[in-house]
Amino acid sequence: MCRMRYRVLFFICLFFMEASKAMTSLPSQTDPCANAALASGTTFYCQFSHRDSVLNKFPTYRYLAAVEVYLRITTTPYITSITPSYFIDQLQERNKLFLIRNGSLANLEKAFSKYKEDLNKLKQLTLALGVPLEATKRDYRALTGEQICDWSLLRQKRKALWKSFRLFKQELSVAYETEVVLLGQYLHNRRLFEVLNSLANLDGSALPIYVCARPALFDSEPHLQHLSGLVVLSRQAGLFSSDTPSIRRDHPNFVGRPRALAVFVEIGSSGSILSHEYGHLYYLYHHWEAYTEYMEKMGHRYEIGGHGPGDGSGLAAELAEEGKMPDLSMPWAYRPSWNSGIEPISVAVEGEE
């Protein structure tokens, strides 16, 4: 086997989805409902059976209920709410405090900005014409004199607004679902979260991990549709990265970030599934050279996904899935002391990148 074939490690978690938590309803409603959800944020995650003091250490916790309400009851781009802005602000803050970051934030910011821009353009036009924001063709026909304009212009701007609104709703839903999975993992295996949240790249710089939930990971590959998670990492110029020429060539749908790692999971994944992926990542980070040599030695006998007999990556992932902290070296032994007396660690890093 060619050695370079294994310079990109593309690990797939061999998991079936436990449940589909599909977001069938997309974005948002007015602030009274959203604010009510903010006030009841504690009950939103009572399913986790954790005290509020633990949940509050996760910056976006109290905003998730509001976003859920916003996604469920807002069906028109003409109703505005402060909820998306607050949620984006909290995601930005979270991505500064933690190295484990919501990888959907950049797309959400872009989509929200476009939606607001299109809404403002339509507002300006309808204000100049003296017609309602949701003006119909009947309203248009009532225009006289200098107010008359081409109806197609108003229709065009409204069409653009609805298009950007639908995209924004989609990106907000993905960012929300990603944050739910991140919180689930944080509560399922906090020790592993804290360890991965403090990784350094090979040059001593911080090593972010971007996590993103998707509706389907392998929608174009039916034989892989039962899989629900994967980790993407490689080495380029002596540094870990999830965005290299080889990844862009061989896995364009799963390109991460330069000088950062990437994890993809399906929407609705549990905290244990994301912990499983973190287990793979944890092992590979500490055993990169040894594992690439192991893959070469195994050749065609190597099982994609790292779950072959005696595969250290798979063993670490299974321990992590169980909520245990893998040891750094073989034999893989559960260290109970690592799972007690845990205090969350925040890593202050300026900027998102």
Condensed to tens digits (0 to 9), the pLDDT of residues 228-273 reads 788 888 888 888 999 888 888 888 888 889 999 999 998 988 999 9
What CA–CA distance (Å, rounded) separates 336 from 334? 6
First to last CA, the chain: 35
Report the pLDDT value the prediction gives residue 130, as an integer from 0 to 100: 76
3-state secondary structure of 9: strand
What CA–CA distance (Å, rounded) separates 19 from 184? 14
- H helix or E strand, kind and range, residue 69: helix 61-73
| Sequence-distant contacts of 239-243: CB under 8 A, at least 24 apart | 239/201, 239/202, 239/203, 240/201, 240/202, 240/207, 240/285, 240/288, 242/210
Mean pLDDT of 8-22: 34
- H helix or E strand, kind and range, residue 240: strand 239-241
- In this predicted structure, the answer to whether residue 5 has a pLDDT above a threshold of 60 is no
Report the pLDDT value the prediction gives residue 227, as an integer from 0 to 100: 67
pTM: 0.77
